[in-house]
Every structure is written in structure tokens, then in C-alpha cells.
A and B are shown apart, each in its own frame.
Chain A
Amino acid sequence: MSENVILLVEDNPDDEALTLRALSKSNISNEVVVARDGAEALAYLFGTGAYEGRDVMDQPQVVLLDLKLPKIDGLEVLRRIRADDRTVSLPVVILTSSKEEQDLIDGYRLGANSYVGKPVNFDEFVEAARQLGLYWLLLNEKAPRRRT
């Protein structure tokens, strides 16, 4: 069942661990696939490279995308997601340390569904993760699969 997979794109292992912890503390038990840079995220989504052969029709429930990433940065990843028919309606939540206004603007302009700043306070981080899970995993209806 990869139907309810969460794709977490995060290069910082600390943040990865904390995010996973926050998600689990929020009782989100979905499978979390972690991509550690933009290229890996795109490879997963489009079934290339290490994910060669993956069924690309089977897309995650939500992508949690950090912006500052090695190789291909988050905004570029987002642009490519929105440029591809297979992922054009994929929910993407930008989850980042940056509170830079420009990042916010660019994120929404490129089609991000949400923009969430990662708080320093872990309690707040857990709260944010809980709300994210509640909305994107439980309340949000996925766009119907496209038949090709």
C-alpha cells in the first residue's frame, strides 16, 4: 500500500529525525519515504534512477518539501512536479526553516499547496505536523488518478 505514502524531501538528518518523530507523535502512521536531495525526490516521483520501475501512477498522499536541498533545490523540484502531467495535482507542502518572504512567494507561485515554517520549538513543530497530517492525510481528497 503505497497509497498513503508521505514523501519527505529533507537533507538534514536531524530535521528528518525530528519530522518523523513529530509525525509519529501526531499519530500519523503513514509510510514515509525520505528523499535526501531534489534529484532523489524526482527519481522517486518519476520512477527513474534508484526508483527505476516504480509505478509512477502510484503517487504519494503528500510531499513535504524542504527548499534548501543539495543538487536540485526545492523550488526546482516543485517546478518540475507541476510541469509533469503525472504530478501536476500532487499535493506539495513546503516545509522549511526559511521565513523569507521571497521563498513564500516563489513557493506559492510555483504551485505549492501549503507553506509551513519549521518552528524551533519542538512542541510547536509537533503541533504543526499534527495539523498537516490531519488535513492532508485525512481531510483532503486526492485528485482522481489519471488514466493514460
Chain B
Amino acid sequence: MIERSATGGAVAQRMLLVFVPLAVATAAILYMVFYVQSGAIESVTRSNQEKAVEIGRQRLEGGLASVSSDVRYLARQQALQRWLVTRDPGARQELVREYLAFAAEKKAYDQIRVLDLDGREMVRINWNAGDPTFAQDDQLQNKVRRYYVDETLKLGPGQVYMSPFDLNVEHGVVETPVKPTLRFGAAIFDADGQKRGIIILNYLGQRLLDRLEANAVRAPGQLWLLNADGYWMLGPSAEDEWAFMYEDRHDRSFAGDYPDAWAQMGDAAEAGQLIADGELFTYARVAPISEAEEPDATGGSGPNLSTSDGWILITHLPTTALERQRSALARNLVYAAVALALLLAMVSFVIARHGARRREDELRIRDSEARFRTLLEAAPDSVVIIDPDGRIELVNAQTERLFGHPRDRLIGEPVEMLVPDRFRDRHIGHRGTYLTEPRARPMGAALELFGLRSDGTEFPVAISLSPVQTADGTLIVADIRDVTEQRQAELRIKELNERLFRDNAEIAAVNKELEAFSYSVSHDLRAPLRAIDGFSQALLEDCADGLDDTGRSHLNRVRQAAQRMGQLIDDLLKLSRVTRSDLSEEELDLSALARTVADTLRTAHPVDEAEIGIADGLSAVGDPRLLRIALENLFGNAWKFTAGRAPRKIEFGRAEHAGEPVYFIRDNGVGFDMTYADQLFRAFQRLHDARSFAGTGIGLATVQRIIHKHGGRIWAEAEVDKGATFYFTLQA
């Protein structure tokens, strides 16, 4: 857990290291983008507005110039002049025809009129909504009182009058639907330069406004056209337009709605931009008839005349629109920034985690390598790692010690430098064979291998090989053990085994001899004794008359000695038989065995009174024949040494002694002095004189051998005159 959280911390730290600089750089870039872009937005907006205004101005001026060109042309027309001079009805007719054709062609003029110097209409063509007509004489009016007539009459040759832009008024009432109208006038001069009349063109101003509006659609903001007094001719809505034409709407004007802007524009240049009343205004003054107008072909050199103070073409764009664009940009950039930040965070996380993992892996690899090194160096055997070409790649400290070469003299050398000369060629061959079928080979004692020390001496080795597959091919890890001591030990074991074998043979021979000896004793030693005893008896019987008491006593002693020796021989043979016999092991009932032995004793001594207690259920594993001999001896001893007790008490049972079961035989006999306890079990050793207790001194030795053969122990506890207890264990 601790390790993991540390790793998490490391990842977070690495992530920050990557993320923060990237994020700062990105933020800076985005800010710069914002800064540049918002500047660009403003300048583009401004320039767009300027362009829109400029285009509008050009269109207006172009349109007006074309109209003024028309009126000038018509004023100089020969047919008109001829008619004015001659008043020939035919000429008038022709003129009318021409005007009709002109109107139909131009589609821009509501009326084409020729007036005399008194202001009376002489010819009038009506547009009549696309079907130009000629006005009859009775329809002609006297227009002398109209301002445009007066103004036109004042004109010199080549001069053009343009009326203010307003709505057509018929009979004192603004015609509806409104008909924005511009009146262009020019004076008509005859060949002598005599003014003969004037010509007036009622221009359909809506065409001009439509052209502006068509333009305005494509530009941001709205294109307005103001007259010199600040009234809208093209404005926010139909109600706002032409307000000066209506008594009740005089307050509706640009000048009234945007006083600041109007004031700033008042004395300003021909064109410009200003911010006022929360809006960006872009404007240009329009000269209805430009000064670049062609000079009068007839020689008139006066400037073109305009009755108008000029119009103002203006766009307005609420600064909030700019702000909106700016904040939209900002918003987009913020979105982009957030998206980028997320992306960067992810990228940083991936990079950080990758980095952390790599670092962890490196640490782990370093750790495992360190462990590997430690293990390698700590290995009790020499470890040599060999590349597929048989060159030593790696050795451990034990290799240096074992072979006497320092590490740097071994690395990169052929492994054969560690092999005695006479084995080298074979070793190279073996190495090749091994590589074709590499598999782990344990240390084999079967092969007699030798290593070569730097001082040229050789030593026996045992080698185990294991192949390790790596990217560079199969490496062989050789574990080399110095088996000098092992070999010596093996040699010693072999020697010892041989000696043991010899000794065994000797022992077998000795045993054979012993067997023959005891056989011979059994047969041959008893025969003379039997003769001694038998013939002594014969002497006693056959020559009783020649023997006195002393003689008889002597012969009886001879007999007793012979019988005693017979007994000794029997016991000795029994002892040697116990020693020689093989141990058979079976489950047996010691209680039953003891009872049989006791019964035999009782039968042999029917007169003696004896209390013999034998515990029930004493079972043991052992040799029944040998254990019977042991019990016979022990019970026999107990019986013998309780002679004279009334009653004899003999007890056989089992007790616990230091956690193991111990069998015991206890009697109430004469006991013995524990000082001599260590002599009890020696053959022919007796603690009592032969006169008091008969015996050969072999019985307990036999018992001890039997117990020892069973892997048990025997000992005794006694006190003089207070009985003895013999304990034994059986761990066969």
C-alpha cells in the first residue's frame, strides 16, 4: 500500500511537471491569439464598415452622375432646340417620341418635362408605372411657383440642378405609397446661347435606395442615408424615414436619436469612424454631384450646382456587437483552452505514468539485479555464465577464489581457460553438442571433471549446467563445485568399506570357528564329564565294600564338580547361543510368558511356599524364545535369592520410568550391596558365595545380552536383606 501511494504521488508530481509548463505555454499562446484576433476583429469590422460605406457612396455618386449626365444630354438635344425655336408641331411630335423611348429605356424617371421660361409645362412624359405616356396639353400645369423650377431657371449652360431628396408631393399631399424623388434640372440654350426653357427629370429615388440596401444586406450593421439635417432617407424603419416631410414626425431623426454622434460628425471630415452612444458609426459625406464632373461642352465653366448640402451615408454597429464578437472569440478560446487543458492533462498523465512505470521498472530491475548479484556472490559454488560462443560473461567471487584468476582476466575469455589442456578440444566439442540440445544437467558424480587453476594445478570438480534463453542467445550457467574433499572422502569411504569387508570376513570366519568351537564343546567337553560322573557312581556302587566314608565323600565331590562343570558348559553355550542367534520380533504376551516360567519354578520346587504376582496384559514386541530365557533367568534368580523367606514374594509388572515403560521383577530376597551393582551383569561374576547360593554367574550376563539385543536396558536396585528389583526396557 505504501509503495503504491508513493507511486501515485510520483505520478502526480511527474504529471504536474509536464502539465504546468505546457498549460502555461498554451494559455500564453491562446491569450496572444485572443489579443491579435480581437484586434483583427475590430479592424476588420471597421474596415468592413468603411468599405460598405465607400461602396454605398460610390453607388450613390455613380447613380447621381448618370442622372446628371442624362439631364445634360437631354438639355442639349438638337430636336428639343429645333422645336423650341420653330415650335413646329412635327418637331414636338418627334421629341415626344424620343422621350417616350428614353423613358422606357431608362426606367429611372418618373417624369420628363420641358418647361418654358415662365414655368409652364410644354411637354411632359409620365412613367406611369412602366408604361410611359405623353401628357395632353390640357393636362399640362404651370409649375412656376415650384422651387426647383426657379432654381433651374437660374442655371447657366452645362449646369445641373439637383433638388433635395424628398417624397413626391401631388396636389400638396405626399403621394402614397411614398415615392422618394430627386429632381434634376438643366436650362436649355439655343445655338445663340439664348435660354429657351428648362428640362426637369423626376428621378425615381427608390432605385438609388434599393441599390444601397442591396449593398447593405451584405455588410454587417445597417446602412443609413441621412440628409444634411440629420433626417433618415434610408433608416431603421419606414416610419423613421422621410420624417421631415411630415409635420407630426419632425422629431424623428438621426440627429435627435444619436445627438453625440451627430455632434461629432458635425464638423468632421468627409468620412470617418466614431464611437458614440454605444455604437460604432462609419460615415461618408456624399456630394450628389461630384466636382469631377465633365466641364460644360458648350463652354460654360461654372461649377456644377447643387442645391443640396450633401448627404451622409452612415453605418452603425453597436459596440456590443464588437464586444459580442470579442467575447464569442474569448468563449471559443476558453473552450479550446479547457479542451486543450484536458488533453494536456491526459497527455501529461500518460507521460507521467509511463515515466513512473519506467522508473519503477528500472528500480525493480535494479533491485532484482542487485539480488541476483548478491545471490550469485553468496553462492558457495563457483558460478560461470558463458555466452553461445563459449566466452565467459559473468563469474562470481567464488570463481575467483577457486580458479585463482581475477574477474577481469576471465570476462570475455573462452571458458576453456579453466579446463586442463588435455581436455580442451573435447570440451569445445561437448559445448557445441550441449548447445544443440540445451537442458538442465544436474551435478553428476559419474563424470570425472577437472578444473585448471591459474597456477597450473588441477582439481576435481562437479559441474551442473542450466541453459538460460536470452535475447542474445542461449547462455549457459555453469555451477562448478570443488570436489577435492568429496573425492578424498569418497576414497576414504572406499578404503573403509574395503577394510570393513575384510573385517567382516574375518568376523565371519571367527564366528564360524566359534560355532565349531561351541559345537565341539557341546559334544566333546561333556563326554569326559559324563564319564567322570558316571564312573564315579559306578565306583560307588560296584566297589562300595572297599570304600570308607571318606572315599565315598571324595567320590561324591568328584561327581559334584563334574556336574557343576556340566552346568557351566550348558550356561556358557546358552550365552553364546544368545549372542549368535538372530532376533525374531513378534507381538507377545509377557504376562503369559512369565506365568509359564513361574509355573515351571513352582513345579520344580513343590514344597516351597511362594507368592508370585504377575501383572496382567503386559504385551511387548520381541523374540519369544530369548525373552523366555531372560525371564527364566530373572525368575530363577529371584527364586534362588529368596530361599528361606516365608513366604517368598516375587512380583512382575510394568512401571513408568522417565516417561518410558519399564518392566520389573521384584523380590523380597537377600538383595545385594549396590556398591557392586556394576559387576552384576558380567559373566562369571557372582556377588554371593557358592556355598550360600549355587550358580554359574552367567545367567544375568545372558539376560543383559538378550535385553541389549532388543535395544533395551537393564539395571537393578537393591539393598542388602531388603530384596532386589531388576528393571528392563524393550525397544526392539
Chain A residues engaging chain B, CB cutoff 8 angstroms? 12, 14-15, 17-18, 21, 67-68, 96-101, 118-123, 125
Chain B residues engaging chain A, CB cutoff 8 angstroms? 518-519, 522-524, 526-531, 533-538, 559, 562-563, 565-566, 570, 573, 577
A-B contact count (CB 8 A): 66
**9 smallest beta-carbon distances between A and B, as pairs:** A120-B566, A14-B531, A122-B534, A18-B534, A97-B526, A122-B537, A120-B529, A98-B522, A97-B523
Is there contact, CB below 8 Å, between B533 and A120?
yes
Q: Give every chain A residue within 8 A of B528 (Cβ-Cβ).
A: 14
The CA of A51 and the CA of B559, in the complex, are separated in Å by: 39
Q: Give every chain B residue within 8 A of A100 (Cβ-Cβ).
A: 518-519, 522, 573
Q: Give every chain A residue within 8 A of B534 (Cβ-Cβ).
A: 14, 17-18, 21, 122, 125
Interface of B (DSSP majority class): helix
Q: Give every chain A residue within 8 A of B570 (Cβ-Cβ).
A: 99
Is there contact, CB below 8 Å, between B533 and A121?
yes
Is there contact, CB below 8 Å, between A14 and B577?
no
Given contacts A21-B538, A98-B522, A98-B523, contact A121 B531 (CB under 8 A): no
Q: Give every chain A residue within 8 A of B526 (Cβ-Cβ).
A: 97, 118, 120
Smallest Cβ distance from A94 to chain B, in angstroms? 12
Given contacts A120-B562, A120-B566, contact A98 B531 (CB under 8 A): no
The CA of A119 and the CA of B567, in the complex, are separated in Å by: 10
The CA of A14 and the CA of B534, in the complex, are separated in Å by: 9
Given contacts A97-B522, A100-B522, A123-B537, contact A15 B527 (CB under 8 A): yes
Determine which residue in B534, B535, B537, B538 has the highest number of CB atoms from chain A within 10 A of its CB, and name it.
Answer: B534
Is there contact, CB below 8 Å, between B538 and A68?
no
With A15-B530, A98-B523, A120-B533 already in contact, 16 other A-B pairs whose C-beta atoms are closer than 8 Å: A14-B527, A14-B534, A67-B523, A68-B523, A97-B522, A97-B530, A98-B519, A99-B522, A100-B519, A118-B527, A120-B562, A120-B563, A121-B559, A121-B566, A123-B537, A125-B530
Identify which of A97, A123, A125 contacts B524 (C-beta below 8 A): A97
Closest to A117 in B: B526
Is there contact, CB below 8 Å, between B531 and A99?
no
Q: Give every chain A residue within 8 A of B562 (Cβ-Cβ).
A: 120
Identify which of B523, B530, B559, B565 contacts A14 (C-beta below 8 A): B530
Determine which residue in A12, A97, A100, A122 has the highest number of CB atoms from chain B within 10 A of its CB, and name it.
Answer: A122
The CA of A125 and the CA of B524, in the complex, are separated in Å by: 17
Closest to A13 in B: B531
The CA of A67 and the CA of B523, in the complex, are separated in Å by: 9
The CA of A101 and the CA of B574, in the complex, are separated in Å by: 10
The CA of A140 and the CA of B413, in the complex, are separated in Å by: 100
The CA of A42 and the CA of B597, in the complex, are separated in Å by: 42
Q: List 17 A-B contacts (CB under 8 A).
A: A14-B527, A14-B528, A14-B530, A14-B531, A18-B534, A67-B523, A97-B522, A97-B526, A97-B527, A98-B519, A98-B522, A100-B519, A120-B530, A120-B533, A120-B563, A122-B530, A125-B534
